[in-house]
A and B are shown apart, each in its own frame.
Chain A
C-alpha cells in the first residue's frame, strides 16, 4: 500500500517536473466574432485553420464566442490572464478591445484579422479583398447571360465596400456595360447574421435581372445562396470555400484564406518568429483567390478559367491595378 503510494507520488513529481518543458509550448486562443464559430464562412475559416494547426502540432487551441459586445474585452483579458499566448481576435470590431488589452499585457502576443492595432505586441492581418473580388467579378460577368450581376454585402462598412468595388471592377473588365446591383444588409453587427434579409435582397436583384449574385455577408450569405439556388440562378460564396453548399449553383467562392493566415500565425508564434505590425495578404501571397473544385467544375468554362488565370497573373505582375476602396473611400465604377 505504502509502496504504491510512494510510486504514485513519484510519478506525480515526475509529471510535475516534466510540465515546464510543456509550458514552453504555446497556448493559443481565439476570440470569435459575432457570426459565431460555425458560420460556414469567415469565422469557420479561422476555426478550420486552427484545427489544421492543432492536427499538425498537437497543440490545443482554446476559443470563445462572445454573447455580447461587452464580453469581448473581458474574454481577451481572461485569456491573457490564464497565460494563453498568442491570442487571435477575429474581425474588425475587436480592434478597440485588442488595443486596450494588449497595452495591459505587453508580454502577451496578440493578432487581429481585418483590423489594425498599432502596438509592439500585436500583429494585424489584412487581406486584399478587392483582388479576389475582382476575379469573382470576372467570372460573374462571363457566366451572366443577362449582363446584370448582383452583390449583397453584410454590414455597410468600408471593408465590405472594398469587396463590392473589386467585384464591380472585375465584372466591368469583361463587359464595360455590365450592370452591377449592390445592396447592403444593414448597418450593425446584426447584418452578419440575417439570412432572411439576405435572401430578400438577392430575390429583388434577381427580379431586376441579375443572374449571378455574390454575397460578402457572413452567415447572411446563406440566405442569398438559397435564394439563388431556388431561382435556378448562380451565387458566389465568400471567405471559406462554400462551393459545396449548393453544387451546380455556386459559380465559385471568393476565398479569403483566413484559415491559412491563422495556421501560419500560430505556427510562426510556435517557432518564436511572431512579427508585430501589419501583414497584408493578397493574390501574390495566396491570401485571396477564387475556388474551383469538383462542386463547380461544370460551371466553369475553359475560357472563364483562362481569363481568370490571366487576370490573376496581371494583378500579381502589377499590370492590372485593382482600386482599393479603403484608400480613398471611393469606387471608380
Chain B
C-alpha cells in the first residue's frame, strides 16, 4: 500500500514540478536527494563535507535545508524514507513538509521521524555557511543586504572565508560593507588598523563598535576610534543639513506652486485673489475625481489630472473673472473682499456636493518609497517629484511669459495698461487669459498637493496666507522673486523648526516677513525707477 501511495505522491509531485518549471526540473530531483542522503551519515566529518556540498550546490532549497538542520528540524522518516522539514515540534504529531518538493505532508508522529543530528563544531560551521550563503546570491541587492546584515555579526571563524569573498566580489558596495564587517571584528580584537576602514561610515553597528573601542583601555585605539567617531559625527551633521535643506526645498516648492499663480494675477492685474486657495483645492479634488473614474490606476489618473486640474481651475478662474472681477477694475481691495466671498462659496460647495470630510488620494507606486543617497540620507520620492514638478511649472511659465505673444501682451499690460491698450492690445482678453493662466497654475498646485497632504475643503485656506507672503516677499510681478522667496521661506521654516517647533517656526517666519516689508516695502526684487512709484 505504502509504495502505491508514495508512487501516487511521486507522480503528483512530478506533475506539480513539471508544471512549475518544465525545462529545469523535468525529472525527479535526484541531485537534491543525493545531497540530503549525504547528510544522513554517522560521521560528523562526513556531515561537515555534506554541508559544504549543499552550500556550494546552489540548490534552491539549500538555504532552507541548512536552516532546518541548524534548528534540528531537518528529519527523515524511519527506514530511509523521505526527508522532511518539521514546521513545529510540539506535542506528539508534528506538521511537516517534504524537504525536496516542499509539499505539505500533514502531520506525522514524532516516533516515525529521525532527527539528523549535529554537534557544536557542525553548528558553528552551519552558522558561518548560512551567513556566507547569501553573499553568493546572484542579485547584487541581495548580496548588499546580506553584507549589511553581517556588520557586527562576524565571528572569528568567518574572517577567512569573508576575506576570500572580498577578493572575488565584483560590486564595490558589497566589498566596502564586507571590509567594514571584517574591520569591526578586528576592532573588537583590539586592532587599531581596523579603525581606518570604518571611518566615515554612518552605520549604527559601526558607530557602536567604534564607541566601544573609544572606551577601551588601549590609549592608541581609543584615540583613533574617537577621531573616527568625530569624523562620522561631522558627516552625520552634513547629512542632517542636506535633509533639512531637502525638506525646506520641498516645502518651498509647494509654496512656489501655490504662490506663482497668485503672483501672475496680482502682478499683472492688481487683483488680490483670495479664492486662489480654493482653486488649488479644485485641482486637488480633480485628482481625487480622476482616481474615482479610473479605479486601480492611480498613476494614470495622476498623469491625466495634470491637464484636467489645469483646465478645471482655469475654467473656474474664467467664471470668477467674468462674473466678479471685471467689474472691480482698479479697486484691488474690493477684489480682495469679493474673491473672499467666492472662496467661501467654493468651500461650502465642496462640503455640500462632495463631503465635509477629507478624501484620500492614492499615490501611485512609482511615487512612493524613497531614494537612498547613503546610509544616513534618503529622500522621499513624492517630495522629489513635487519639487521637480514645481520647477517644471516655473520653467513653463517663464517660457510662456518670455516667448509667447500672450506673455508679451501680459508684460505690456502690466507695465502700462493705457499704453498697451492704445497699441491695440485687447486688455480685456489679456485679463481673461492671464486670470485663467494664474488659476490653472493653482490647479496644478492642487494636483501636486494631493500627493503630499489631505484633500479637504479647507486645503486652500491653509495655503492662501503663505502664498501671499511669498508674493509680497518676492516682489510683486516678478516670477523669479516668487521662486526665490518661496524656496527660501521653505528652507528658513525648516531650519527654524528643529529648535523652535513647527508652529513657532511659522510664527517667526511671519514676523520676519512683516519686519522685512518694513525694510523693503516692495519685496526682494522690486520694480525700480519712476514707473514703480505711485
A associates with B: no
